[in-house]
Amino acid sequence: MKGPVEVLLVDDDPDDVFLAEKAFGILGALHRFHCASTGEEALELLRNAGKPGGIPLPDLALFDLNLPRMSGSELLAAVRRDPRWRRLPIVMLTGSPVDQQCLEGEDPRVTCYLSKPDRMRAYYAAARRIEAFRRAAAKEPRSPEVAR
């Protein structure tokens, strides 16, 4: 049996962090959240990930699009520049259902976009969708034949 799913969650809103943990709580797989409230903090966590004293290597990352200072898209770009995180499944979260184009140039198999739900039922559904996305992404071959 594999260990818990390590999730890096970057959101400056503690309510949203709480709701995300709640939503994933109903899934069978144990999700362990590592939280950062800014992009800079997230990059720092990733730099030491897997090292002694650092967070475990993440299996999934959730980035709020609307972060203070460095935006979610900028964080995404910065993370993807590091070869270690090229295939890390990343979900971009937004509070408003607009601008899908922020994912341009990203491989949809490892990056997806989701607007934050308002009802709990929708939260649970989103958590299930994200988990399915993570599993599908994890099965992807590690070869760099990334289409566009």
Partner 1 sequence: MSAPESLTGAQPQAEGGLSTGAGGIPVPPAPVLLVDDHRENLLALEAVLLDLGQPLVRAASGEEALKRVLGEDFAAILLDVQMPGLDGFETAALIRQRERSRSTPLLFLTAINKADPFVFKGYSLGAVDYIFKPFVPEVLRAKVHVFVELFQKTELLRVQSRRLAEANAELRRSNAELEQFAGVASHDLREPLRKVSAFSDLLAERCAGKLDDTERRYLELITDATSRMQSLIGSLLEFARTGHGPRVSEAVPLQRIVSRVVADLAVPIRETGAVVRVDSLPLVSGDPNLLTRLLQNLLANALKFHGPQPPMVRVSARRQGADWLVSVKDNGIGIDASDHDRIFALFKRLHGRERYPGAGIGLAVCRKVVEYHQGRIWVDSEPGRGADFRFTLPACEGGTP
6 three-class SS: strand
Residue 15 contacts partner 1 per CB under 8 A: yes
CB of 119 to partner 1, least distance (A): 6
61 three-class SS: strand
Looking at beta carbons only, is 121 or 139 nearer to partner 1?
121
Residue 101 contacts partner 1 per CB under 8 A: no
Phi/psi at 64 (nearest 5 deg)? -70, 135
In the block, which residue shows the tokens 């949203």?
Answer: 16
Residue 142 contacts partner 1 per CB under 8 A: no
CB of 96 to partner 1, least distance (A): 4
Site track for partner 1 across 18-57, x = CB under 8 A: -x--x-----------------------------------
